[in-house]
């Protein structure tokens, strides 16, 4: 059989990831609003905040939907050639569906003429596909690394859906079923579908012909075969880099059935600019907008602080038996009270109860926080600032939008995001 030559009918030539010529003229931006992930790939570590890293799962900060919109409006002043606005993590958009859909709604209202795309593992995407066209999503990328659960079991440590964790072939089967169904439903909506498959030597490098044949049979448009990026502190940290011959052979096998994307640049979850040539200042801008109010015109008067003695922000949220509460007055910041926090041991219910206790607080200052409490508090509209230093400096940042020099940027995502635990989060 010869190489596959049929040309997919892409909906928009201005998408640089789907149109090789467009990459030289049209910029894209990824909005990092989705911190949680619902699977753990054995090659993935989402520790972030290194400006020199360019790979999926890396971002300099997490934005709320409203922060993302304000960041995008400012970015557009510098990059008027943005044609595509996407969400690609740093977790998965549909492990964070509320944030993802809210961001799309806000951005679509402000930028109705842009293309919108999503990059997902496919788990939990199905309930949202019917609304994609109305919200402006035209392109979706699904990462499918195997179409045989026996192979998939060696790629994924766990899969979490419907509040239950699955492992081995069972987990891989659940993930695969949703991925394949998603292709069918996306194509029924007229959405262009790209398949990303990671080349994993000794794991799936012999499997690319099967992957391509299967996704083609369901209507996928184009495929991208990406060499694995060995990441520290992962199951596959010692995996060999695919050599030139392996990359060539896997792509040749896939091309027998699918048109291939050949100009891929590994993109961060906060990428902005031309493909392979990101806008340098976006790194600073994202950090700035992440320190702004999660919601516009936030009128909740108080700020909670995890502190050991009432002078410094120096406690991890999980260690804090109580929080100090402050408010701004015409005469400066005033201590209001000390509030007990819920006791440990109830999993996410602990953080849901904390969000209720803090319902009159616009922000929390803490030296560290796990991924689950971070997400729950942010979904409740509470801005979480991870920092060390004087409490007054943190309060200045919240109330007066002053730059915060004491943010622990390198530590902000270590707890929870790269956890190899039981996928149930901090308790």
**Residue 1, pLDDT score:** 39
* Residue 393 belongs to domain spanning: 293-417
Q: Which residues lie closer than 8 Å to 358 by C-beta, 6 or more apart? A: 304, 323, 339, 364, 377, 380, 382
Structural domains in the chain (count): 2
Whether pLDDT at 248 is above 80: yes
**Residue 167, pLDDT score:** 96
Q: Write the pLDDT tens digit of every residue in 65-97.
A: 988 999 999 998 988 788 889 998 888 999 999
**Residue 344, pLDDT score:** 84
Averaged pLDDT for residues 142-170:
96
**Residue 23, pLDDT score:** 58
For residues 324 and 238, state if they share a domain: no
Flag the least confident range among 146-150, 158-162, 346-350. Answer: 346-350
Given 258, 289, 320, the domain boundary residue is 289
Q: Write the pLDDT tens digit of every residue in 58-71.
A: 677 788 898 899 99
Q: Which residues lie closer than 8 Å to 419 by C-beta, 6 or more apart? A: 371
> Tell me, what CATH number does 119's domain have?
3.20.20.70
- The dihedrals phi and psi of 167, each to the nearest 5 degrees, come to -130, 170
Higher pLDDT residue, 349 or 49? 349
> Tell me, what CATH number does 369's domain have?
3.30.420.130
Task: Let me know if residue 67 belongs to a domain.
Answer: yes
Tokens of 15: 């998408």
For residues 232 and 323, state if they share a domain: no
Averaged pLDDT for residues 127-151:
94
Q: Write the pLDDT tens digit of every residue in 283-306.
A: 788 878 877 777 776 678 899 999
For residues 248 and 357, state if they share a domain: no
For residues 39 and 102, state if they share a domain: yes
pLDDT band at 327 (very low <50, low <70, confident <90, very high): very high
Task: Let me know if residue 426 belongs to a domain.
Answer: no
For residues 284 and 234, state if they share a domain: yes
For residues 243 and 314, state if they share a domain: no
Given 266, 289, 312, the domain boundary residue is 289
Whether pLDDT at 133 is above 70: yes
**Residue 403, pLDDT score:** 75
Whether pLDDT at 274 is above 80: no
For residues 278 and 340, state if they share a domain: no
For residues 373 and 304, state if they share a domain: yes
**Residue 178, pLDDT score:** 97
Task: Let me know if residue 313 belongs to a domain.
Answer: yes
Please tell me the pTM assigned to this model.
0.71
Given 289, 313, 333, the domain boundary residue is 289
For residues 284 and 142, state if they share a domain: yes
- CA Rg, the chain, in Å? 22
Burial environment of residue 348 by CB neighbours within 10 A (0 to 12, 13 to 18, 19 or more): middle
For residues 367 and 411, state if they share a domain: yes
């Amino acid at each position: 059989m010869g190489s596959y030559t049929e040309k997919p009918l892409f909906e928009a030539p201005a998408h640089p990831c789907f149109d090789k010529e467009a990459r030289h003229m049209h910029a894209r931006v990824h909005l990092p609003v989705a911190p949680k992930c619902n699977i753990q790939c054995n090659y993935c570590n989402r520790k972030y905040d290194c400006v020199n890293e360019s790979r999926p799962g890396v971002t300099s900060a997490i934005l709320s939907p409203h922060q993302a919109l304000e960041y995008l409006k400012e970015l557009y002043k510098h990059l008027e050639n943005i044609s595509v606005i996407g969400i690609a993590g740093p977790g998965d958009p549909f492990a964070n569906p509320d944030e993802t859909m809210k961001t799309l709604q806000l951005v679509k209202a402000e930028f109705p003429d842009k293309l919108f795309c999503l990059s997902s593992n496919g788990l939990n995407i199905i309930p949202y596909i019917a609304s994609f066209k109305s919200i402006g999503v035209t392109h979706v990328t699904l990462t499918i690394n195997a179409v045989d659960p026996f192979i998939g079991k060696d790629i994924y440590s766990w899969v979490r859906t419907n509040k239950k964790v699955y492992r081995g072939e069972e987990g891989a089967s659940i993930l695969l079923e949703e991925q394949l169904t998603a292709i069918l439903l996306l194509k029924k909506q007229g959405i262009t579908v790209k398949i990303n498959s990671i080349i994993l030597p000794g794991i799936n490098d012999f499997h690319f012909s099967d992957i391509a044949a299967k996704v083609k049979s369901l209507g996928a448009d184009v495929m991208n075969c990406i060499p694995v990026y060995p990441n520290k502190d992962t199951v596959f940290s010692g995996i060999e880099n695919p050599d030139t011959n392996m990359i060539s052979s896997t792509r040749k096998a896939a091309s027998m059935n699918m048109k291939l994307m050949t100009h891929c640049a590994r993109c961060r979850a906060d990428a902005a600019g031309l493909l392979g040539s990101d806008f340098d200042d976006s790194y600073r801008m994202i950090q700035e907008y992440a320190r702004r109010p999660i919601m516009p015109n936030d009128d909740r008067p108080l700020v909670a602080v995890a502190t050991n003695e009432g002078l410094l922000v120096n406690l991890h949220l999980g260690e804090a038996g109580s929080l100090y509460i402050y408010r701004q007055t015409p005469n400066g910041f005033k201590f209001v009270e000390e509030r007990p926090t819920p006791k440990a041991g109830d999993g996410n219910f602990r953080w849901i109860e904390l969000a209720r206790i803090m319902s009159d607080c616009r922000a929390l200052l803490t030296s560290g926080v796990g991924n689950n409490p971070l997400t729950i508090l942010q979904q409740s509209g509470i801005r979480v600032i991870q920092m060390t230093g004087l409490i007054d400096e943190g309060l200045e940042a919240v109330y007066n939008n002053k730059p915060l020099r004491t943010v622990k940027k390198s530590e902000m995502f270590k707890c929870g995001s790269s956890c190899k635990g039981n996928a149930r989060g901090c308790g």
